[in-house]
Every structure is written in structure tokens, then in C-alpha cells.
Amino acid sequence: MEAEHPVMIQARRLLHRLEGAVNAPHWSKFWLAVLGVCDWEIVNPIPPEAWLLPDWVPLAPWRWWELFVQSWESIDWVAYRNDIAPSDNYHPKTWLLNSINLFIADIWTPYLRPKSLARRAEDWVSKLVDMEDANSDYADLASVNTPMNLLLCYIRDGPDSYSCWDTAFLVQAVSVAGLAEDVRWKPILTRGLEFLDRQQIRENCKDQEVGYRHFRKGAWAFSNRDQGYGVSDRISEALKAVILLQKEADGYPQLLEDQRIFDVVDTLLTYQNSSGGCASYEATRGSESLEVLNTAEVFGRIMIEYDYPECTSAVLTALTLFLKDWPDYRRTEIRGFIQRGVNYIKKAQRPDGSWYGSWGVCFTYGTMFGLECLGSVGENYANSLSVRKGCEFLLSKQRGDGGWSESFQRPCHALLASKLQAHTEITESPSFHILSRSIGREELFAYTNGRFLVDEKNQLDRRYVKFDLDALCSTAAAVDGQLSQITAIEKMEGGFSKVLLMQKENGMELIAKIPCRIAGPAVLTTECEVGVLEFLRKHTSIPVPRVLSWSSDRSNAVRAEYIIMEKASGVQLYEVWGKMSDFDKLQLIRSLTTLEAQLSAIRFPAYGGLYLQKETNIFKSIPLDKDIDPTGSFCIGPSCDRTYQTEEIESDVPSLYGIGPWNTISALGISIARRELSRISNGHHPSHAQFYHGSFGEHAHLLENTIRLMMLLDTNSILSRSSQPTLWHTDLHMGNIYVSPDEHSRIVSFIDLQGVLVLPAFLQARWPVFLKPAKENEYVKGFIQPKLPDNFDQLDEEEKKAASSEWEQGMRAKAYEVATYLENKPAYTAMHVPRVFRELFIRCGETSEMGVLPLRECLIEIFHSWSDLGFTGDCPFSFTKEEIEIHQSQFADYQDWYRVQAIAQECLETDAEGWISPHRGFEYIRAANKQLQDMYIQRMVGKKTPEEVKAIWPFPV
């Protein structure tokens, strides 16, 4: 009914006139308190001790017959105990009753009431309720005390759910864990045994055959004895729990004598079908053709009972355990039962090694029971093909976080798309493929994932890695304790590492990653990536691949650094992004920011790389605090940033500037400036000659000023809120985010954590690549929604398409920003630190490559905005008007170069290095580059000469 319906309006007016529920009668107050919408303080006490009074006492209870208009938090409940609306106050309370209530509520209950007396009274009232229920066949006095009696029974007895099932599993779990004889667990397990003793069904149904009820003597039901239906797996699990305590452990009472155990076995032996499998409630009684008479449209397979691997496994494991302690009872029948059941279990196994579970979701659940059954009869990984296939199935389905979650859609899709694959014995060496094309070994070592328009020979040389492939395959074949030959290798090369997808004979897939020289400093790059992966798996719920084997020592058998890890589960986000609804995209963004919030919450002690403590014995390291890493397994060590060159680190040069770890922002910034000074001093030549780079003296002066500025960052009021050392994945694009194939908004793995560092939050927090605003410099941060241009309706179709695309990307960027605000306040704050601080570190770190202009532009902006940027005192450097004018002229040339580079990269669909995908014709792109330059020369007629355009053109022609 609508809120403004006339009936609702009248009802509200009456409630307001009566001053709300605080003036309701006592029974109403009681039920409102039961529902939790008002405090119990408003209810006058009715102590059960009154029922302990002698019957001759005149006040003995056996003689009796018997929402709000202000904010909830502001109500003084005690004050309203005796307030009743005049219209309901038919029989006002006497002064004597009010006095008794006051005494009971304020004196007797809080100060004088003995606990033993209260317990006696509550027990007696409980018994009175049971007698009332029995005497009236549970009708009671209808609405008066029926719901009250029901409430008492619920509080006393608890809900009727699946108590026997849970109790049996809990008892088994504690017993199998070896804790059954631990004095701390014995009282709990004893009570569990007593519960199972009480809940065993001791006789068959009355008129069992006439009522078509299955044999049940000795059984346990799903919930409790009163339910009355025995279930094969419930009976079996309860029997195992009883045997584990009464026979396998010491010090437990023998509550179920042998005959009662035999009753259980007798019942279990009635559940097996001709197939060897067991059903759930009863053995199969008819043909499956009866399903044609099924009138229930929403259920299938309900007309008769069917075999289930879970039920069969439970019965077989229970009977196997039973035979250990009673080897002679119905021995022949039981052994035959077990053999037929094992044969059924093996037949029920699917080609991929799994079992289909019907009573849980689904393949993982069924496989758990299937393997337990085979294990109980002596089969294992070494002697059973079925066990091997089952184990390999489970291992192949382990999630990135170490668990085995499974959605209910997956079994449906798997059954619809199931394929039988023939088994072929592999006797040859593994085959190598790239993009479904067979390749030779040498191509595994070379860079084959594209070509470069700029400095191609050097680019390819830095990405060439030779290694011992046979040694790598041998190492991979033995990982995770599963010796299985590598049968195929697919090259999935990245920009900084060789990435090989390796297929094992047992079906398992692995990723082998070998860093190139361009990836970063030798040793540190591999050790840091392993440290990050291990830390995330151990101390967060962020899903990343499991490292199976690795080495940072190039003298190993592989002759190269390597990491072998599990293949990420799921599908890459770019494969499904176009199919996702807007709602699913928003859900994924929310999930992403929730996971990132875990990173913001970790308080690292310093800036640098994250390493395994025992593996880092070079340079300096700082251990993590115990509250982050209780086992002392990790530490902060040197930076593995790609801007640090292996040749420099292996020399004595780093001692001049340091490569980390750093305890403060100032120390980090100063080391970067000193590194650039060191490089310039050693004659490093910039790679870009298209604009002014500055003399050595200008470099030195500018970097000295930068060092003086860096010294002041630790006391900056703005940076102090966003400088905490933070681990962050700064290259999140759709290719390194994996999502569930069934639930695209659920992230199941992140990959490519090479080069991930612990740095100040304001240098880390950012939009993921695929969520960045199309024009970040025009994007308005804060809670302001992006808008289409005011003249959108006047635009032509192409312009509308471009504007709509920018708007949609802006909306996704805004969704990420808002989600970050809701889930990850520290990152949101860091993203809103003035851009110039991030620019300062970036421009300082590229001075030796890009020259003085970008850094000087940054320092001039800081000089002009000194106090607005949170600094106190005077700026440690200054610029004259003439110096600024000269800089602006030089910087205009840099901006021209930058603009031309951006145009060329966009038109040629490449990056600063001129990388061209192998899918595109390299010679065609070279020709397009020449054509594009000619077009730009024509466009610049009257503004720049052809020579000036060629001088700033980013790609050689």
C-alpha cells in the first residue's frame, strides 16, 4: 500500500495522536521488544520465580488468567513502562502493582535475584509450557500464549536445521586433526557423542511396509530424530563420528553398544542399488521411465531415487571404518557391498577426473567424496589412475587465492560443453608454438612479438635471452610434487620478459617467466616479483598466481633467472568487457577498489622493493613490523625499478646515490636526483635531440635545487597525509586482470607484478589504465559527473561518436573515483594530491634522458605556488623574470615536440619506442610514417620549415 494512501494517512494520524508505540499496552510492548523494535526496558518484568511460590499463596500465578513518534535513540524506555494510551487503558494498573513492578525491575532483578533460583524458575516454567502444549495438542490459547510458548521453545531448543549432519562432520574433523584426546576438546566431543546418542532413531516406522517407508532402525536423520527419515550419507557420517570417538580414541563413554552399531550397518546395507551406487532416502524402487509422469515443472529426477557419488562414498567409507573394529559382522556381505560400490565410483568419474556432486556445488564437492572413497580402500596417487585423475582435476581448479570456490553456473556450463578428449601417449620433445604457428627453439630466445621504428637493433638485443630449455622443462615437469613431462610450449611474450605457457602430460598448465635485460636490475627484478607474489598470497586475499619454482641465480641449470607459476584461472578482462552490462562493470570496479583498499591498509616501514627476508642478502634491507608479518618472512630492500640499470648496480656507482630502501620521502627524492647527477657526470647522452637539453652546468644547478626542495618534503602538510609506503599495481589494464568466466564482475587473478614497488601513496594511487579519463587534464575530480558537450546536438556523427566515447570513459573514471572514495579513502586522498608533486619525481628521474626543460617547468610551478602547496618559509630557489621568459621559449619547443609525438603515436597506433604489433605490416607502417610526416610538413607551411618538422619528428623516416 502506498504511503500516501488514505488508509495509511488515517493510521499515521491515529498513531501520532496516541503518541506512538511507547503508549501501547503491555502485551504490545512485549511483542515489540521481541521483534527488536523497542528496548526491553519498556516491558514490566514478569519473573519466572513467581511460579515457585507455594500454591496456597494468594498471589501465586496459577490463580491468574490472563510504532514511535520520536527518534528511537532518544526514547527513555524505563519512563514508558507504565504509560498506556487512554483508549487502551481499560483497566488501569493499581498502585500496588506499579510498586511491585518497580521493586522487581530496579531492586530484585539487578541486585537480589540469585542465579540458582532464576534457573530453577526458568526450568519449571519451561516444563509448564511443555505440559500446556501437550494438554492442548499445541493449540494452547490461540493467539494469547501460543506464540509465547513457541518463542520459549525456540530459545531453549534452537532452530530445527541439520544438527546431526553438522555434528557428525565437526566430530570427524576434530578427530582426524588428532585432537580427540586433547583435554581441551574432550568435553566438546563428548557432548557431540551424547547428542548423536540421543538422536539415533531406535525403531522402524509403525506400519512401515504399509506406509512404504524405508528401513530406518539405527539411522540418523538430516536434522534430528523427530524428523524420522534416515538418509544414507547422514547415517554414514554419524556412524564414522561415533566409531572415531568410541573405538579410535581413548577416554570416551561407550554410549552406543555393539547392537546399536549393528543396527546402523543393517540399515546401510539396504541402500545399495544394482548399479553398486547408493541413493539418499531409500533404494531405487522403480524405472527412470516414471519421470514421464513428473508433474513438477521446476524439478527433474524426482519420481524415483537415483545413485549419488556422495552418498555412495559416505556409505563405503563408513563400512570400511566399521570393518576395522568389527571384522566378522556380516563380513562377506559388507566386502561385496564395498567392491560393488568402488566399481560404481570409478564408473561415475568424468573424463576430466571429476565427479558430479548433486548435494553441493558441484564438481569440487563430488570429487572430494570420490577421492575419499577410493582412499579408504587403499587406492592412492601412486597405484590408481582414478585417484591421479581426481587429484589433477582438483589441482587444476585451485583459485589464485589458494581456495576452491565454484559457482552454481559452472557445473551447468561444463555439462553442456563437456568434451571427451582422447588420451595420446607423448614420446617426443615438446612442441613450440607462437600464435598457433610452430616455431624453432631459437625463436623462443628472440623477441618475436613485434618490431620497433626507433633504435630497433638495441630494442631487440635488450629483449633477447638465451637459456637452457631442456633444464627449464625438467624443472617445470617436477614442480608441485607432480612429475609429468612437458608436452607443449606456447610463447606468450611480454614487453619485458619471455612468457611461456607450458602444458604438462597430466593436463596441468604452467607459466614460465624469464626476465629480459630491459626488465630491470638483474637478481632484484626476479626476487622482488617473487616477494610481492608470496606476500599477497600470504597476507591478503588479493588473488595472484602461486609461485611453484624460481631462481635469481643465472648460474643455475637453466642459465637464466626464471619464475615458474601456476596459470591464472579465469579469462582476461578484455575478452568479456564488451559483453558486460553497465551494472557488472560497476560491480567489478567496486570489487577492484575493495581489493586495492587492502594494500592501502598495510603499513610498510620504508620505500623500496618487497622481498623474501631469507633471500635478500645483498645491499640493505628493513624487516616488516610484526603486526604486518608475524613470521618475519619479508623485508623492504633495494628498488628494482627499470630506471636502475644492472650495469650501474653491479658497479660502485650506487654508493653515490643509493638504490634503497628509503625511510623518508626526502631520502627517496634526493637519491633520484643524485642518480641523475651521477649519470650526467659520467657523460650520459640524452636520446632525444629534437629540443634543448641544457648544459652540464644547467643540469647540475637544477638538480642541486631539486635536492634542496626534496629535503623539505618530509615536513610538507599536504604530502604528510599521502606519503605512507604503499604497495600498488601501477599497470592495471584489461590484459592482466582475470575474471570468472561465469561471473564477469568477480576478479579471480591479477598478473604481471614485475616491477611492483612500495612507494609513497601519492606516487602510486591512480586510475587503472582501462578506467583513465580520455583527457585526464580536462577531467574534473570530485563528485561532479562528466557531461556531454553543450553543443552535442550540433555535432556531426563522427564528432558525436567521439564525444560519447569520451563521456562514457569519463563516467567509468568517475565510477572508479567514487568507489575509491567509498572503499579506499587513503588512495582517494592520494589521488587528489596536487599533480605537481608526482611530476616532480617523474621529471627528476628522467633528467638525464629528457634534459632540463620538464623538470625546470615543474620547479617554476612549485616556486609560483609555494605556500598553496603546503610549504612554510621561503622557497629554497627562485627564478628571475628573464630566466622564466627564456625557459618559456625553450619549453615551447619541447611542447611542440611532445605534441607531434602524441599525434604520430595516435595515428600510427604505437608508443614512444615505435612498437608495431606482429599482426600489422611493419613496412606498411613505415610507409605510413613517411606519409604522415609529409602531411604534417604541409600543415605546418608558414609556421615551421620542413627541416624543423623533420627535426622534431619522433620516428625515423
Kind of pairing between the strands at 431-434 and 486-491: parallel
| Tally of CA atoms within 13 A in the half-sphere of 681 that contains its CB | 12
949 is written with which cell numbers? Answer: 618538422
pLDDT value at 783 more than 70:
yes
Q: What is the average per-residue pLDDT within 905-920?
A: 89
Query: Count of CB atoms within 10 A of residue 219's CB?
Result: 28
pLDDT value at 917 more than 60:
yes
| Superfamily of chain region 431-572 | Phosphorylase Kinase; domain 1 (3.30.200.20)
Cα separation, 489 vs 487, in Å, equals: 7
Kind of pairing between the strands at 747-750 and 737-739: antiparallel
Q: What is the average per-residue pLDDT within 643-652?
A: 62
Q: Looking at the domain 15-157, which fold is it?
A: Glycosyltransferase (1.50.10)
Residue 921's pLDDT band (cuts 50, 70, 90): confident
Q: What is the average per-residue pLDDT within 817-829?
A: 95
Burial grade of 956 (CB within 10 A; 0-12, 13-18, 19 or more): middle
The pLDDT of residue 300 is 61
Q: Where are the alpha helices (DSSP H) in 136-162?
A: 146-157
pLDDT value at 652 more than 60:
no
CA distances from 65 to 47, 62, 121, 141 (A): 16, 8, 19, 11
The pLDDT of residue 228 is 67
The pLDDT of residue 527 is 94
Q: What is the average per-residue pLDDT within 43-58?
A: 69
**What's the 3-state SS for 649-669?**
HCCCCHHHHCCCCECCHHHHH
Residue 74's pLDDT band (cuts 50, 70, 90): low
| Tally of CA atoms within 13 A in the half-sphere of 168 that contains its CB | 26
Kind of pairing between the strands at 437-438 and 431-434: antiparallel
From 275, 273, 192, 180, select the one nearest 232 (Cα to Cα). Answer: 273
204 is written with which cell numbers? Answer: 522402524
The pLDDT of residue 758 is 98
Cα separation, 611 vs 633, in Å, equals: 9
pLDDT in tens, 367-382: 999 999 999 999 988 8
Cα separation, 868 vs 875, in Å, equals: 12
Which pairs from 172-181 meet CB under 8 Å and 24+ separation? Answer: 172/237, 172/240, 172/241, 172/244, 175/241, 175/244, 175/245, 175/248, 175/249, 176/244, 180/244, 180/245, 180/248, 180/249, 180/252, 181/249, 181/250, 181/251
The pLDDT of residue 158 is 67
126 is written with which cell numbers? Answer: 519451561
pLDDT value at 594 more than 70:
yes
Q: Where are the domains of the chain?
A: 15-157, 163-289+301-412, 431-572, 894-952
Mean pLDDT of the chain: 84
The pLDDT of residue 830 is 96
The pLDDT of residue 536 is 97
The pLDDT of residue 245 is 93
Cα separation, 23 vs 704, in Å, equals: 78
Q: Could you give phi then psi for residue 630, rounded to 5 degrees?
A: -55, -30
The pLDDT of residue 812 is 94
The pLDDT of residue 69 is 45
Alpha-carbon torsion (327, 329, 335, 337), positive or negative: negative
Higher pLDDT, 187 or 405: 187
Specify the pTM: 0.57
The pLDDT of residue 845 is 93
Lowest mean pLDDT among 260-274, 422-436, 459-473, 783-797: 422-436
Q: Which helix (H) or strand (E) holds 258?
A: helix 258-268
Q: What is the average per-residue pLDDT within 388-392?
A: 91
Cα separation, 752 vs 887, in Å, equals: 40
In eight-state DSSP terms, residue 723 is -
Higher pLDDT, 163 or 760: 760
Q: Which helix (H) or strand (E) holds 948?
A: helix 946-952
Lowest mean pLDDT among 227-241, 429-443, 506-520, 841-855: 429-443
Kind of pairing between the strands at 609-612 and 431-434: unpaired
Asked if 627 and 858 count as a contact pair (C-beta separation under 8 A), the reply is: no
The pLDDT of residue 666 is 96
Q: Where are the alpha helices (DSSP H) in 711-852?
A: 761-764, 797-823, 825-831, 835-845, 847-850
Instruction: Scan for cell 596459470, then name that residue.
Output: 567
The pLDDT of residue 951 is 85
Most confident range, picked from 104-108, 111-115, 423-427:
111-115
The pLDDT of residue 68 is 47
Percentage of the chain exceeding pLDDT 70: 84
pLDDT value at 435 more than 90:
no
The pLDDT of residue 437 is 54
pLDDT in tens, 661-715: 999 999 999 999 999 998 888 876 666 566 788 889 999 999 999 999 999 999 9
From 751, 758, 743, select the one nearest 400 (Cα to Cα). Answer: 751
Asked if 622 and 662 count as a contact pair (C-beta separation under 8 A), the reply is: no
CA distances from 53 to 47, 61, 118, 130, 441 (A): 11, 8, 13, 19, 95
Residue 341's pLDDT band (cuts 50, 70, 90): very high
Total count of residues recorded for the chain:
957
Q: Which helix (H) or strand (E) holds 572?
A: strand 571-572
The pLDDT of residue 930 is 92
The pLDDT of residue 57 is 61
CA distances from 186 to 172, 249, 253, 563, 820 (A): 13, 10, 11, 46, 48
Q: What is the average per-residue pLDDT within 398-425?
A: 54
Higher pLDDT, 289 or 34: 34
In eight-state DSSP terms, residue 607 is B
| Tally of CA atoms within 13 A in the half-sphere of 138 that contains its CB | 2
Lowest mean pLDDT among 592-596, 631-635, 946-950: 946-950
Residue 424's pLDDT band (cuts 50, 70, 90): very low
The pLDDT of residue 138 is 66
CA dihedral 85→91→94→97, nearest 10 degrees, is -90
Cβ contacts of residue 637 below 8 Å, gap of 6+? 524, 528, 608, 609, 610, 611, 616, 619, 620, 621, 622, 660, 661
In eight-state DSSP terms, residue 308 is B
Percentage of the chain exceeding pLDDT 90: 46
pLDDT in tens, 15-27: 777 667 777 776 6
Which residue numbers are catalytic?
A: 233
The pLDDT of residue 419 is 36
613 is written with which cell numbers? Answer: 627476508
154 is written with which cell numbers? Answer: 525456540
Asked if 578 and 699 count as a contact pair (C-beta separation under 8 A), the reply is: no
Burial grade of 863 (CB within 10 A; 0-12, 13-18, 19 or more): middle
pLDDT in tens, 109-152: 878 888 888 888 888 888 887 887 777 766 666 566 677 777 77
Lowest mean pLDDT among 304-308, 526-530, 547-551: 304-308
pLDDT value at 88 more than 70:
no
Higher pLDDT, 349 or 15: 349
The pLDDT of residue 427 is 34
The pLDDT of residue 302 is 65
208 is written with which cell numbers? Answer: 512401515
Burial grade of 546 (CB within 10 A; 0-12, 13-18, 19 or more): middle
Lowest mean pLDDT among 86-90, 616-620, 651-655, 841-845: 651-655
Residue 80's pLDDT band (cuts 50, 70, 90): low
Cβ contacts of residue 520 below 8 Å, gap of 6+? 496, 640, 641, 642, 644, 646, 754, 755
pLDDT value at 616 more than 60:
no
Lowest mean pLDDT among 441-445, 450-454, 640-644: 441-445
pLDDT value at 756 more than 80:
yes
Residue 384's pLDDT band (cuts 50, 70, 90): confident
Instruction: Scan for cell 506512538, then name that residue.
Output: 20
CA distances from 4 to 11, 17, 478 (A): 11, 18, 72
Respond yes or no on whether the N-terminal peptide bond of residue 661 is cis (omega within 30° of 0): yes
Q: Do domains 15-157 and 163-289+301-412 have the same CATH topology?
A: yes
Residue 950's pLDDT band (cuts 50, 70, 90): confident
Q: Looking at the domain 163-289+301-412, which fold is it?
A: Glycosyltransferase (1.50.10)
Cα separation, 779 vs 810, in Å, equals: 7
SS3 328: coil
Q: What is the average per-residue pLDDT within 211-217?
A: 73
* 739 beta partners: 571, 747
